[in-house]
Homo-oligomer: A and B are copies of this chain.
Amino acid sequence: MSTQAPAPSRREQILKEAARLFAERGFHGVGVDEIGAAVGISGPGLYRHFPGKEAMLAELLVGISGRLLTGGKRRTAEGEGAGRAPAEVLDSLVEGHIDFALDDRPLIILHDRELDRLRDTDRKLVRSLQRQYVELWVEVVRKVYPRLAEAEARACVHAVFGLLNSTPHLGRPGALPGRAATAALLHRLALGAFEGAHSDGARGDGSRSDGARGDGIHGVDGSGQGR
């Protein structure tokens, strides 16, 4: 154990606790005193590490958006470099996003909830990163499902993000068996959603027995542990 986190470094400690608190009670709902208390120091001691409360949020949001984008770029680059089918790349993107959603729940919450509390410059940066990440997905999705128009594909991507980011909402009760099972379920849900979007909406009045599964391009061995 003990991978390589030798010094949580106070600064990272603060960021982690701030993320948790912001996610729980909202940016405006948390005072600096509470953040300080969460890391053992009190109140304005935080100002030795950050120029202000908002700077913490900004660093969190830029950090997460950047990491999502970086991971997405890496996955698509690897996929294309290895000549893998688009469906496999999409599979990899889904897997990466799920890992993120499951491992960094508080950040995922902040990511689409507290963006508007940032100053213009920071917000623009985060939005730019987010947009790039979305476009990355859109490109891949349109390769896998060419029948989707661009706007449709973008809407699908947003919707699937909403689906994947729903993990925080189901953490409360006994919830799912384990992480792996949850990840697998989310994976199936996400891919199923894309398939559903791609299927022509010519389902009569809801009889929807379906199952025809159109040209299911991806017979991919789903989720197959690329790591």
A interface list, Cβ under 8 A from B = 24-29, 87-88, 91-92, 112-114, 116-117, 151-152, 154-156, 158-166, 169-170, 174-177, 180-182, 184-197, 199, 201, 203-211, 217-218, 220-225
**4 closest cross-chain pairs (CB), A and B:** A192-B196, A162-B166, A28-B28, A204-B221
Q: Among A113, A160, A196, which residue has the most Cβ atoms of chain B within 10 A?
A: A196
Choose one: B29, B92, B116, B164; the contact of A25 (CB below 8 Å): B116
- Docked Cα-Cα span, A25 to B165, in Å, equals 20
- Docked Cα-Cα span, A191 to B165, in Å, equals 18
Choose one: B175, B180, B209, B222; the contact of A151 (CB below 8 Å): B175
Q: B residues within 8 A CB of A182?
A: 155
- Docked Cα-Cα span, A181 to B159, in Å, equals 14
Q: Is there contact, CB below 8 Å, between B116 and A156?
A: no
Choose one: B29, B154, B180, B195; the contact of A170 (CB below 8 Å): B154
How many copies of this kind of chain does the complex include?
2
- Docked Cα-Cα span, A158 to B176, in Å, equals 12
Q: With A26-B28, A210-B195 given, is the CB distance from A204 to B185 under 8 Å? A: no
Which B residue sits closest to A114, measured CB to CB?
A: B26
Q: Is there contact, CB below 8 Å, between A207 and B24?
A: no
Q: Is there contact, CB below 8 Å, between B187 and A190?
A: no
Choose one: B29, B166, B174, B190; the contact of A196 (CB below 8 Å): B190
- Docked Cα-Cα span, A34 to B187, in Å, equals 43
Q: With A116-B24, A163-B163, A217-B174 given, is the CB distance from A197 to B204 under 8 Å? A: no
